[in-house]
Amino acid sequence: MVARRFLVALATFALATSEDCQEGEQGTCSTHLLQAQADRRTAPHHWPTFRGRSQTAAVGQAPPRDLSTPSWSWQHPRGQFHTIMSGGPVIDKDSNLYLQTAQGIRKFTSAGQEVWIFETPGLTNNEPSLYGNLLLSSTKLPGLAYAVDRNSGKELWRTFLADTSGGDCGYPAAHNGVFVVGASTGNDTRISGGNTKVFGLDTNTGKQLWEYDPDHVVWNLSPLFPDDESVVFMDFTGGMYKLSLTTGQELWKTPAPNSDPSFSDGGPTLGQNGKVYACSNYGVAMGQEGSLGVARAFDLSSGQIVWEKILSSPCNSFPAVGNVRGSDRLAAVFLPGPFDGSPNEEGSVLALDAETGEEIWKFNTENYTSPLNQAAGDLEGFADRTTEGIQAICAPAHWSAPTIDGSGTVYGLRMNGKLYAVHGPQDTVDTKELKTALVLDSSTGVVAEVYQIGSASLH
C-alpha cells in the first residue's frame, strides 16, 4: 500500500510537470522535469529539528484557523497511554513525519498512515533530527549515536559514546557534515541526569571528530548553528558556549551570572539579529513554583550578555524570536512556568523586545492544579505504561517550546494538555477570522484561543 501510494504520487508529480510542456517542446520538457526532480531531491526538509529549520522558532506560514478538530490522530495501538513521545515529530521534504516513542521511531505519511517502525538500539528520550536522507539520534542505555535511512528505516551506522547517557529529552542535530550530540550521564549533586560531554561526529560514518567537556551538565541539549563554522549550546545553569563546528575548539563561553547553583531544562534560540537568547533560572532556583527565572540575550560574536531580565516565575522552556502582533519590534518570546509538583501553578506567555529586554506584552494563563500535582496524562496512564514496561511518567516541563507563526501568533502547549494560541493585544485581532472563543487576560488586554489537545496522541 505504501509503495503504491508513493508510485501514484510520483506519477502525479510527473504528469503535473509535463502538463507545462507545449507541443513540440519535448526536449525542453524533459529538461524541466529533470530539473524539478533535482530540485525536489535537494529541497530542505519542512521541519528537520524540534524547532523547525529557522532556529528562531518563527515560521513564515500561518496554520489553519480552526485547530479544534485535527485532520487525523494517532495513538499507540494498545491504547492512548501505552507510550511516551519524545517531543513532537520532525517532517521531511516529502511531508512524512517521524516520531520518537518509547517503543521506537515511527514514520507516518502526511495522511497519518504508518510506514515503518525503527526499534532504536537502546532506550532513549531524544527527539531525532533530519539531515539529508539521514535520521539522526542517540540512546541513553547504552550511550550510542546512530543514523537511519529516512526512506527505508534501516540503520546505517552507530557509534558508542559512553556507557550511559542522560534520560533527559535531548535534541541532537547536524549541520555541515557534523552531528552534535551529548553523552555520559551527569551526577551533579543538585540533580542526576543530563550529559557531561558534547561530541561532534561525521554524519556519513559516525566517526568521532571531537569531544568537549562543558563547565556544567548539558540538559535537553539543543545545538544551534549560526553559520557553517560554529555551534552554540547552553548548560543547565544558563551558561552559553560557542565552539568550532569542525574541531570542537572553544571560541567563547559565558557563565550564567549569579546562577551557578541553579538548574533549568530550558535552552537557547537564535535571533535574526546576531544574538542568541536563553531561558533559565536565577540564583539557586531549581525551577519550582515560587522561584525566579531569567531571560538573557547574548552577543553571538563575543558571547557578552546584552541584557538580562529577572522573571517572577521559573523559565524551563526555550524562547522563540520573531514578530508578534501589537508591536513592530522584533520580539523574544518566553513561556515562564514551574515544574509540576505544586498546586495552583502559574503560567504565562511573555513577549520582550529582542534588542532591549523591555516587555511588549504578557498573557497570564489560568492557574493549574491536578491530582497529586502531576501533568495531564501522567497519573491516568501510569498503570498502562507500567504494564508496557516503559517510563511510567513523562514529567514534562510546564510548557513546550513556543512557535511564532507568520501572522505573529504565539503557540505553546502546556502541561495541562491545552494548546494556547496567543494573538496579542485585543485591539490587534480580527475576531471574525477566529473559530474558537477568545480568552482575555483582563489584567493585560492580551487575548488567546485555548484548545483542549490532551496528551499521548499525535494530531
What confidence score (pLDDT) does residue 74 get? 94
Query: What's 453's domain CATH number?
Result: 2.40.128.630
CA distance 458 to 184: 31
User: Over the range 84-112, which residues count as b (16 or more CB within 10 Å of their CB) and which as e?
Assistant: bbbbbbbbbbeebbbbbbbbbbbbbbeee
CA–CA separation, 14 vs 174, rounded Å?
32
Residue 298 belongs to a domain: yes
User: Does a structural domain hold residue 440?
Assistant: yes
The whole-number pLDDT of residue 437 equals 79
Contact (CB, 8 A) for 181 and 162: no
437 within some domain: yes
Task: Name residue, grid cell 552559553.
Answer: 240
Pairing of strands 97-101, 104-108: antiparallel
pLDDT (0 to 100) of residue 259: 97
CA-CA distance, 115 to 127, in Å (whole number)? 18
Query: H/E/C letters for each residue in the chain?
Result: CHHHHHHHHHHHHHHHHHCCCCCCCHHHHHHHHHHHHHHHHHCCCCECECCECCCCCECCCCCCCCCCCCCCCECCCCCCCCCCECCCCEECCCCCEEEEECCEEEEECCCCCEEEEECCCCECCCCCEEECCEEEEECCECEEEEEEECCCCCEEEEEEEECCCCCCCCCCEEECCEEEEEEEEEECCCCEEEEEEEEEEECCCCCEEEEECCCCCECCCCCECCCCCEEEEECCCCCEEEEECCCCCEEEEECCCCCCCCCCCCCEEECCCCEEEEEEECCCCCCCCCCCEEEEEEECCCCCEEEEEEECCCCCCCCEEEECCCCCCEEEEECCCCCCCCCCECCEEEEEECCCCCEEEEEECCCECCHHHCCCCCCCCHHHHHHHCCCCCCCCCCECCCEECCCCCEEEEECCCEEEEEEEEHHHCCHHHCCCCEEEECCCCEEEEEEECCCCCEC
How far, CA to CA in Å, does 335 sit from each of 272, 295, 302? Answer: 20, 10, 27
> Around 190, how many Cα atoms within 13 Å sit in the side-chain half-sphere?
16
DSSP β-ladder status, 305-311 and 320-323: unpaired
What is the value of pTM for the model shown? Answer: 0.90
Nearest-angstrom CA–CA distance, 322 and 408: 8
* Residues 300/276, Cβ–Cβ less than 8 Å: yes
Domain annotation covers residue 358: yes
Does any domain span residue 153? no
pLDDT of residue 109: 98
Q: Determine the structural domain holding residue 311 and report its residue range.
A: 256-459
pLDDT recorded at residue 8: 28
Collect all residues with Cβ–Cβ distance below 8 Å to 231 and sequence separation of at least 6: 175, 178, 180, 200, 223, 224, 225, 242, 243, 244, 245
Q: What pLDDT does 173 receive? A: 98
Number of compact structural domains in the chain: 1
Let me know if residue 368 belongs to a domain. yes
Domain membership of residue 304 (yes or no) is yes
Report angle CA 402, 138, 256 to the nearest 5 degrees. 50
Confidence at residue 142, expressed as pLDDT on a 0 to 100 scale: 94
CB atoms within 10 A of CB 36: 16
Q: One digit per residue, pLDDT tens: the chain, 459 residues?
A: 333 222 223 222 222 333 333 334 444 444 444 444 444 455 899 999 999 988 999 998 877 777 878 889 999 999 989 999 998 999 999 999 999 999 999 999 999 999 999 999 999 999 999 999 999 999 999 999 999 999 999 999 999 999 999 999 999 999 999 999 999 999 999 999 999 999 999 999 999 999 999 999 999 999 999 999 999 999 999 999 999 999 999 999 999 999 999 999 999 999 999 999 999 999 999 999 999 999 999 999 999 999 999 999 999 999 999 999 999 999 999 999 999 999 999 999 999 999 999 999 999 999 999 889 999 999 999 999 999 999 999 999 999 999 999 999 999 999 999 999 999 999 988 877 776 778 999 999 999 999 998 876 776
**Contact call for residues 410 and 404 (beta carbons, < 8 A):** yes
User: Is there a domain that residue 143 lies in?
Assistant: no
CB atoms within 10 A of CB 34: 11
- What pairs with residue 363 in β-bridges? 349
Rg of the Cα trace of the chain? Answer: 22
Cell digits for 138?
542517540
Q: What is the per-residue pLDDT for 60?
A: 85
